[in-house]
Amino acid sequence: MLAFQNKIGKGYVIASTYVSIAITLLIFIILFWYSFEAFKEIGWDLFTRNWNPATEEYGMLSMLYGTLMVTGIALLIAVPVGILTAIFTSEIIPKQYRLYIKSAIELLAGIPSIIYGLIGIAFFSTWISSWFDLASGRTLLTAGFLLAIMILPTIITLSDDAFFNIPKKYREASKGLGLYTYEVLQKTIWPLAKKNIAGAVLLALGRALGETMAVMLLVGSIDKIPDPFYQVTSPGQTITSKLGREVGESAFGSLHFSALNAIGFLLLLLVITLTIFTQIYFRKKQEVL
């Protein structure tokens, strides 16, 4: 009886593990399988500018550009604001308030992305279109801006943890030497917190790359690279936005579908590489400590 129970128990945990592993691998395999046709038929032409299913042109360059640009804008805004705010919450606010503010910020991180998309449509796109005098407020800049708001809580919370976990003695020693707050932070605290904050940024980057709904609603969904390329107040396209809009529309099994899978697969590779890199980065850090 006992041996039997033992066997069932062991069987259950082994089965669960293998199912989980199988699913992860399956996702990769399926995506690759269904993008294979596109890689074969289209090959390097995937990296051209024009995306037109009607003429069987599947160039993803504008999506790649859009993804990088939107993510770049998001990081450009969120990283400095986030880190500075984290300094505020970890160094300046009295301890008893810190937990409340942190919890409030963490709750923000839980707001679903579709709601950010709604807010973007209702407010930010109108603001940006009137501020920059544009025909439409759906631009790369708008999407980047919303994305910044979405990743801000993550950066704030994790950077705050990074700063907070540095022992008091470092600050006291530096202040005792007559350093100004800015200098204490730059010369003493920052070198110690750097690695953890880099980790936080990597995490936020991963999220930003994979974000779909808000970007889809706000980026404009025009498959073009703006001219000049730095004009972020024009509409554009990202990989996730493209997938969100067209996967439902394309015929299953067609070349169109395969091309969409292909860009999805590339995104997947990008994000997973980033994730694994982050994981190794953190593991190395532990070893050094």
Partner 1 sequence: MSRKLKNNLFKGSIYTASFLSIAMLLFLISTLIGKGVSAMSWEFLTSESSDFGSKGGIFYQIIGSLLLTLSAAIISFPLALGMAIYKSEYIRKNAFQNITNTLIYSLNGIPSIIFGIFGLIFFVNILNMGISWFVGGIILAIMILPTIILSSYQSINSIPVSYRENAASLGLTKWQVIHTTIIPRAINGGFTGLLIGLARAIGETAPIMFIATAFSGVTFPNSFLEPVSSLPTHILALAQQATNPQALQNAWGSSLVLIILVFIFSISALVRRVQYSKIKY
* Stretch 153-172 residues interacting with partner 1 (CB under 8 A): 156
The CA distances from residue 69 to 76, 141, 207, 209, in Å, are 10, 9, 15, 10
Options 54, 55, 96, 182; binder of partner 1; rule CB under 8 A: 182
User: Shortest gap between Cβ of 196 and partner 1 (angstroms)?
Assistant: 17
Verify binding: residue 80, partner 1, rule CB under 8 A. Answer: yes
Options 49, 52, 279, 285; binder of partner 1; rule CB under 8 A: 279
The CA distances from residue 137 to 33, 145, 221, in Å, are 38, 12, 12
The site that binds partner 1 (CB under 8 A) totals a number of residues, namely 81
The β-bridge partners of 233 are none
Options 94, 110, 176, 228; binder of partner 1; rule CB under 8 A: 110
H or E element in which residue 155 lies: helix 140-164
Distance, CA of 239 to CA of 216 (rounded, Å)? 9
Furthest C-alpha separation in the chain: 78
Verify binding: residue 12, partner 1, rule CB under 8 A. Answer: yes
In this chain, which stretch among 50-58, 118-126, 157-165, 190-198 interacts with partner 1, using CB under 8 A? Answer: 118-126
Options 137, 210, 226, 236; binder of partner 1; rule CB under 8 A: 210
Residues 36-75 that bind partner 1 (CB under 8 A): none
- Identify residue 138 by its one-letter amino acid code: R
- Identify residue 24 by its one-letter amino acid code: T
Options 61, 118, 134, 222; binder of partner 1; rule CB under 8 A: 118
Distance, CA of 277 to CA of 198 (rounded, Å)? 12
Options 47, 131, 132, 180; binder of partner 1; rule CB under 8 A: 180
